Amino acid sequence: MKEYYVYIMASKSGVLYTGITNNLYRRVYEHKMGLGSSFTRKYKITKLVWFQEFSDINEAIRMEKRIKGWVRQKKEELIKNINPKWKDLSEGWYREKDSSSSA
């Protein structure tokens, strides 16, 4: 069965981005590495704060469009319902590059 994900990413300053993908692990990695859209690169949107899985692509697309049409407050409420502290839900998914070491 195919899986689809609608997700919300955030920057440290709180800018939000809503997207859809069939591979959440890969897509979040792309955002973290600056390989996402120019919008996500510009605002350094790298923190996964919400996602939902769907088995039907049409249902996922409808949800993504619905969220994109919401005011910010409603998006924040959605996030806070499952992630009240706005933690990065992808924390620990990837080996973090040690920025303190020199190569």
pLDDT at residue number 96: 59
Residue 91 lies in a domain: no
CA 2 → CA 38, 43, 51, 89, distances in Å? 28, 31, 16, 22
pLDDT at residue number 61: 98
Residue 92 lies in a domain: no
Number of domains observed in the structure of the chain: 1
pLDDT band at 97 (very low <50, low <70, confident <90, very high): low
User: Domain with 65 in it: what CATH number?
Assistant: 3.40.1440.10
pLDDT above 90 as % of the chain: 85
**CA distance linking residue 42 with residue 78, whole number of Å:** 24
Segments forming the whole domain that contains residue 36: 4-82
pLDDT band at 103 (very low <50, low <70, confident <90, very high): very low
Model confidence pLDDT, tens digit, residues 19-49: 999 999 999 999 999 997 899 999 999 999 9
